[in-house]
Amino acid sequence: MPGPAPDERMRPSGRRNTQGIRIDPEAEATHEPRMAVLSALVKHEPGVLSEVSSLFSRRQFNIESLTVGPTQDGDTARMTIVIEEPEPGVQQAKKQLRKLIPVIDVEELESAAMRRELALIKVAGDKPDDVQAVAEMYGGDAVDASKDAVTVEITGSKQKIDAAIEAFEQFDVLEIVRTGAAALERGSKTMDSTTMESDN
Amino acid sequence: MSERASIPKRDPEEAPERENGIEAVESGSEAIIAALEQAGVEHAFGVQGGAIMPVYDALYDSSIHHITMAHEQGAAHAADAYGLVTGEPGLAMATSGPGATNLITGLADAAMDSDPMIALTGQVATDFVGNDAFQETDTTGITLPVTKANYFADHSDTVGDDVSEAFALAREGRQGPTLVDLPKDITKGETDQWPKPPETPETHDEPSEADESAVEAAAATLSAADRPVILAGGGVVKSEASDELRAFAREYEIPVITTMPGLGTFPETDDLSLGMAGMHGTGAANMAVTNCDVLLGVGTRFDDRLTGGVDTFAPDASVIHVDIDPAEISKNIEADHPLIGDATRVLEQFDEAMDTAPDADQWREQCQTWTEEYPLDYETPDDEPLKPQYVVETFDELADDDAIVTTGVGQHQMWAAQFWTYEYPRTWVSSNGLGTMGYGVPSAIGAKIGAPDTEVVAFDGDGSFLMTIQELSVAVRENLDITYVVLNNEAIGMVRQWQDGFYEGRRMASEYPWVPEFDKLAEAFGARGFRLEEPEDVEETIQAAREYDGPAVIDAIIDPAENVFPMVPSGGDNGLFALNEQHLEMI
């Protein structure tokens, strides 16, 4: 005794979007990607970077930059991960990061957080004075000069570095290397103390 | 049907006296074995090899019973099934290089189903690591995505601690496979360090109890529901929450559907049971999940085989999601009420927070109507050729109530899920998430070792059976009383079904023009073989196989035209399931 055919069955009225979010017909739920700066305190041990980076690659998070370095405590390192994802993706990235065993804590930094990256820009050496002048405009320095090339160091926000690189394009840019962002929350708040609080 | 070959049966009474295990350690290997014994490990599934030899040498004097498998994949699946059946991590052991890489499928399988399991792999000595030495692979690198955590042991003094911690992590919170890679110089190295007890690391913080106000809000939503449904997943099994789930559903009279890993968490004989939902779930379960207004999901990760297309999954429903892993919340389906914690505890909290049962008489009636309208059924014109569903149903009638069913992957797996009536948790042992063909033979071995007094039935397909058939030799050697049923349609049946449905019947590489005679092959392995072709022989053959004290294989030659229905096409709408090929064309 077969029941009603597919087109004769009881049907719900709602629907969800591709992120599994129930759609309010009056306010279609859409999530534009946004930039999020995640700061992760991790154990300073071999394989951590690989564990974090492979998490991001196998879950297909759109990663903008990832930097890592030791903290004041020799046993921990801090990673700054900038991702561009819709809201559910940002939340998922944080939760997946927290699941990794060597990860001590993960926080998303506020947009006002200090974000700095460093760039080394190597340009042709025929106008060293002009290069130095442009570098100074961006608070940078020439850190190496030869008869063929000058290398300039710039530190600052992503926007500042972008602008500096654009300015250097008037010279012949030979090579650029950028570190990606390192970021810290403003004020006295620190991640270590947050961790302590949440433990209590 | 000749008698088994000359392998003597193992009488437990006459089993050789085992040593009491390790009392003091002198080497890394002894520390490893001490850690395992301390954690309560009783069985190990593995294959010997060069780099793991020191560990095996320490096992010689151990109380741990080692089962030598034919292939490391078999060891991993057996350990996985053992973990699922017992709730304690199953142990798989392999050597470096190919031994370790052969474990990968089993580790991935356990990871997808959150089954507790620990793997120990040999590794070349640390001096050689990174030099592409003989039988070297980057095992921790390769297994990173398929383990909950893995360890590269770097000191003989701490290798026992690594094993203890890996064991604890496999068992705690959201369970899963862990691995410890063991360089040969570390396992051979001297130490007198007794391993620490199995404890998870400090950074691992599993929540046990959900936030009280969140529970209250969710309970209010459920109380006010008109069309409530409980969706029970594998997390209910892992958390031992089946009793709480039953009590809760019955007290508030809420219909229950299960995911495939959730089979057995709620008795399918109960009036409130609508069976399994998803791609090959029952019509009633899929109608209920599609049309409900409040969905209480417990221990489920909303896998795509369950949800179909997410846009049409429970689209009217407020979703209450109980899970121990915060990362599962709103990963696939947004949770209106996330309740993060252990399922048993959260169900207790929920029960305390519920004011009234939802007023859902009409909804229960509707669900009952769907159960009657869409029964699991199959056509039996003259009962010939033999119908696989009939074989499963008949076996279910003959088997013990608490029999454990293990399966390979394919059509037979779905028939075993659909036509066997599950009453208890930990009686369904299958490759749910990864869908590993070949899971059947070794998983039955792991299940039987884990539950030696329980009847174990393994349904397999001819394609799946052939992938790990060599493990039959282990079932014979260990004299395990397992009944294997090969539902033989001379094809990779599920692929053929899809080719017929969605690839215009172009049966590329899915049909086997010839498969071995499995009853004879079974005899060659030293098992008992039966060939089953006629419907009237089903009962007698199954009984004969059940009564045989040792592994028996029934080669059941089934109707090759039989397909699995109901079916929701991949990414489709659960409410539009097809009951037959004509329906498939409509949707």
Question: Domain spans of chain A?
Answer: 34-109, 114-183
pLDDT at B382 over 90: no
pLDDT of residue A196 exceeding 50, the answer is no
ipTM of the complex in this document: 0.89
Contact B200, B165 (CB under 8 A): yes
- Which class does domain B28-188 fall in? alpha beta
Cβ proximity of B567 and B584 under 8 Å: yes
* Mean pLDDT, residues B485-493 taken together: 97
Q: Domain locations in chain B?
A: 28-188, 212-374, 388-565
Q: What is the mean pLDDT of residues B285-304?
A: 98
Phi, psi of B253 (to 5 degrees): 50, 55
CA dist B195 and B354 (Å) reads: 46
For helices B343-353 and B242-252, the axis angle rounded to 10 degrees is 20
- Above 80 in pLDDT, residue B494? yes
B72 is catalytic: yes
Q: Looking at residues B149-168, what average pLDDT do you find?
A: 98
> Is the separation of the CB atoms in B180 and B121 below 8 Å?
yes
End-to-end CA distance of chain B: 48
User: In the beta sheet, which residues pair with residue B233?
Assistant: none
H-run or E-run covering A104:
strand A103-108
Nearest CB partner across the interface for A54, out of B145, B283, B583: B145
How far apart are alpha carbons B481 and B478 in whole angstroms?
A: 9
Q: Is residue B341 within 8 Å of B208, Cβ to Cβ?
A: yes
Mutation site for B-interface testing, chosen from A60, A91, A99 by largest number of B Cβ within 10 Å: A99
> Helix B411-419 crosses helix B388-398 at what angle (to 10 degrees)?
40
Residue in A3, A19, A96 nearest the CB of B327: A96
Tens of pLDDT, residue by residue over A108-129, are 999 889 999 999 999 998 888 9
What CATH superfamily is the domain A114-183?
Answer: ACT-like. Chain A, domain 2 (3.30.70.1150)
Q: Decide if B499 is catalytic.
A: no
State how far the Cα of B79 lies from the Cα of A190, in Å rounded to an integer.
44
Distance CA B327, CA A92 (A): 6
pTM listed for this prediction: 0.94
pLDDT range class, residue B15, cuts 50, 70, 90: very low
For residue B551, cis peptide bond before it (omega within 30 degrees of 0): no
Question: What per-residue confidence (pLDDT) applies to B2?
Answer: 45
Q: What is the pLDDT of residues B392-448, one digit of tens each?
A: 999 999 999 999 999 999 999 999 999 999 999 999 999 999 999 999 999 999 999
Residues 82-121 of A with CB under 8 A from B: 88, 91-92, 95-96, 98-99, 101-104
- CA B38 → CA B23, B86, B171, B431, B493, distances in Å? 10, 17, 14, 30, 45
Assigned CATH for B212-374: 3.40.50.1220
User: Band of the pLDDT at B6, cuts 50, 70, 90?
Assistant: low
Give the tens place of pLDDT for each residue, A56-69: 999 999 899 999 99
Rounded to whole angstroms, how far apart are CA atoms B77 and B310? 31
Q: Which CATH architecture has domain A34-109?
A: 2-Layer Sandwich (3.30)
In terms of CATH, what superfamily is B388-565? Thiamin diphosphate (ThDP)-binding fold, Pyr/PP domains (3.40.50.970)
CA distance A114 to chain B (A): 27
Quote the minimal CA–CA distance from A109 to chain B in Å: 19
Q: Do B203 and A22 touch (CB under 8 A)?
A: no
| Mean pLDDT (chain A, rounded) | 89
Q: How many inter-chain contacts (A to B, CB under 8 Å) are there?
A: 105
With 90 as the cut, is the pLDDT of residue A189 above it?
A: no
Query: Is residue B574 a contact partner of residue B568, using CB atoms and an 8 Å limit?
Result: yes
- Give Dmax over CA atoms of chain B in angstroms: 72
What is the average pLDDT value for chain B, to the nearest integer? 95
- Does the annotation mark B518 as catalytic? no
